[in-house]
Amino acid sequence: MAGAASDLSRQLARNAEAVCRHYLAAGHREGRYWIAGDIQGSKGRSLYVRLKGGEHGKGAAGKWTDAATGEHGDLLDLIGSHCGHSLLADTLDEARRFLALPREVPDFDPDEPAAPRGSRKAAQRLFAALRPISGTLAERYLRARGITGLRTERWLRFHPRCWYRPSDGDPPGTANAFPALIAAVTDDDGMITGCHRTWLSPDGSGKAPTATPRRAMGDLLGMGVRFGRATTVMIAGEGLETVLSVRTTAPALPAIATLSSAHLAAIRFPPTLQRLYVARDRDPAGAHALGKLRDRAANAGIEMLDLEPQADDFNTDLQHMGIDRFREFLRTLLRVDDLDRMTLLR
């Protein structure tokens, strides 16, 4: 047992920041430490976890101290206390479960040289430095649009003060930073290739008062913000809120937001895909993209079905109809043999 515990402790230490982001989500990184309020992950500055260092002795990665209580230990101790385990075997099982989770998001290293602005590497570094949206203005923004159930969504994060470069359309004195909802753009294997930023108003009630409150960076063509892993059926749409509106009522259905009509037309089809629903927008650009995508799907042997909103897009429908009416409306648009994929549509 001792050998297994030591081995798991070393593996956890090599992924110290990922451990902290998972179990101490309300904390934050400062230099080489993760700072939180206590072992339960509350906000505050009492608990210090070392993120970088050797494998043994003073200064080792994963070592932590709670200045308020005097408690200290390694990451196995942290997980056991956080989860309330009374048996070491339970903690070892939890550690093995955590280490089996996919972690395509690279850890943020503030000592690494700056990546070129707008590059794939810059997008990866931006996303790795951020926290999940639970309890943030990003979650408040989505809730105001009727979108819920996303607290643990892995490809959505929150930036409390994201840099904004004013454009010619912005009035003099426009701020150069706002809170932001950050969505990771990935390829089909889960590798981050870009990020999409939605700058928010200071209270999270809507988008920031700027000329361009949405911007993307990185490699985007053919990629998208993914929710669930596509198998034989998938929903695709342009806007993040459009796709998330459908996911609010159909969380078991894999989906991708391509972020523009041009990128919707150029989406890369997963190799297992057989049927593609397209949650379209009611505008000329969307109609043009739909035609190009339909030709590509036919050539690939993929059945493509249009989902047409009643208003301009599905998020407007969700806000106008409310969740129950919107769910019933969506039922009328889907194939009967796909309804068993949707946990809230049965």
Section 196-222 average pLDDT: 94
> Mean pLDDT in the chain?
87
Q: Which residue has the higher pLDDT, 23 or 346?
A: 23
What residues pair up with 197 in beta bridges, in sequence order? 182, 215
Q: Which two tokens stand for residue 278?
A: 């397209």
What domains lie within the chain, and their CATH numbers? 2-99 (3.90.580), 120-218 (3.90.980), 225-341 (3.40.1360.10)
AA identity, residue 296: R
Most confident of 103-112, 183-192, 204-213: 204-213
* pLDDT for residue 281 is more than 90: no
pLDDT at 29: 86
Q: Three-class SS of residue 325?
A: helix
- Tallying the residues shown for the chain, one arrives at 346
Model-level pTM greater than 0.75?
no
**116 band by pLDDT with thresholds 50, 70 and 90:** low
What sign does the CA torsion over 143, 147, 149, 152 have? Answer: negative
- pLDDT confidence band for 341 (50 / 70 / 90): low
Residues 331, 341: Cα–Cα separation, whole Å: 12
Q: What's the pLDDT score for residue 314?
A: 95
DSSP code for 326? H
**Rounded to whole angstroms, how far apart are CA atoms 28 and 17?**
10
DSSP, res 190: S
For the record, the structure tokens of 265 come out as 């037309």
Distances (CA, A) of 263 to 208, 219, 290: 24, 11, 11
* pLDDT number for residue 109: 53
Query: What DSSP string describes 78-98?
Result: HHHHHHT-SSHHHHHHHHHHH
Model pLDDT, residue 115: 61
CA 133-267-283 angle, to 5 degrees, is: 80
Least confident of 41-55, 95-109, 185-199: 95-109
Please determine, for residue 45, whether its predicted confidence score (pLDDT) is greater than 70.
Answer: yes
CA distance 237 to 314: 10
Neighbour-count burial for 210-248, b at 16+ CB within 10 Å, e otherwise: beebbbbbbbbeebbbbbbebeebbbbbbbbbbbbbbbb
| 297 pLDDT more than 80 | yes
**46 versus 198: which is more confidently predicted?**
198
Q: Name the helix (H) or strand (E) containing 123.
A: helix 120-128
**How many C-beta atoms surround the C-beta of residue 162 within 10 A?**
22
**Nearest Cα residue to 313 out of 244, 252, 216, 233:** 244
Q: What is the rounded CA–CA span in Å between residue 71 and residue 67? A: 7
- Please list, in sequence order, all residues whose beta carbon lies within 8 angstroms of the beta carbon of residue 201, skipping any fewer than 6 positions away: 178, 207, 208, 209
pLDDT at 3: 66
Mean pLDDT for the stretch of residues 276-300: 88
Q: Which DSSP symbol is given to 337? A: G
The answer to whether residue 332 scores a pLDDT higher than 60 is yes
* Residue 132: strand, helix, or coil: strand
Query: What are the two backbone dihedrals, phi and then psi, of residue 13, each rounded to the nearest 5 degrees?
Result: -60, -35
pLDDT confidence tier of residue 339, bands split at 50, 70 and 90: confident
Q: How confident is the model at residue 149 (pLDDT cuts 50, 70, 90)?
A: confident
Instruction: Give the pLDDT mean for 315-335.
Output: 93
Q: How confident is the model at residue 168 (pLDDT cuts 50, 70, 90)?
A: confident
Minimum mean pLDDT range among 8-17, 48-57, 99-108, 141-150:
99-108
